[in-house]
C-alpha cells in the first residue's frame, strides 16, 4: 500500500498531535479492496502536497488500538487532523478530488 509513512501508537503524538501542518490519516488493511482502490490517489496527493500536508497510513490489523481510539468501524476511513484535533472524517472509497477537498482549504 504505497509509500506513505506508517503511523503507529508510538509515533502518533509526534507525527499527528504535534504536527505544524495538517495530517490526513488513511486507516486501511491489506485485504480491503476499496482501500487498494484509493491508495494511488492518497499516494499522489502525498506527493503533490508534500510540505503542506502530512499523509500517513494506519494498517488497522497491525495498529488495532489506534483504530479503536478513533472509533474506526469500516475502512477505508480518512481522518484529517489540524492543530492536534480532528477536523473532519470520511468513510469509504472516493475519487481523488473528493479526498483532496477534505484538506484543500487548510493548506
Could you read off the pLDDT of 49-82 as tens digits, one per residue? 999 999 999 999 999 999 999 999 999 999 999 9
In the annotation, is 26 catalytic? Answer: no
Q: What is the pLDDT of residues 2-60, one digit of tens each?
A: 456 889 999 999 999 999 999 999 999 999 999 999 999 999 999 999 999 999 999 99
The active-site residue, picked from 1, 16, 23, 32, is: 32
Residue the block writes with cell 468501524: 73
Question: 73-98 in b/e burial notation, b at 16+ Cβ within 10 A?
Answer: eebbbbbbbbeeeebebeeebbeeee
In the annotation, is 35 catalytic? Answer: yes
Q: Residue ranges per domain, the chain?
A: 5-106
- Yes or no: domain 5-106 corresponds to CATH 3.40.50.1450: no
The active-site residue, picked from 23, 25, 35, 60, is: 35
Q: What radius of gyration, in Å, describes the C-alpha atoms of the chain? A: 12
Q: CA-to-CA distance for 72 and 104, rounded, in angstroms?
A: 23
Amino acid at each position: 500500500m504505497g509509500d506513505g509513512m506508517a503511523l503507529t501508537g508510538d509515533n502518533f503524538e509526534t507525527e499527528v498531535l504535534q504536527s505544524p501542518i495538517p495530517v490526513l490519516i488513511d486507516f486501511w488493511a491489506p485485504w480491503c479492496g476499496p482501500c487498494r482502490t484509493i491508495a494511488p490517489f492518497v499516494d499522489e496527493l502525498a506527493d503533490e502536497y508534500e510540505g503542506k500536508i502530512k499523509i500517513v497510513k494506519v494498517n488497522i490489523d497491525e495498529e488495532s488500538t489506534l483504530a479503536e481510539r478513533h472509533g474506526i468501524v469500516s475502512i477505508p476511513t480518512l481522518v484529517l487532523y489540524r492543530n492536534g484535533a480532528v477536523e473532519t472524517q470520511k468513510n469509504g472509497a472516493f475519487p481523488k478530488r473528493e479526498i483532496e477537498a477534505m484538506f484543500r482549504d487548510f493548506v
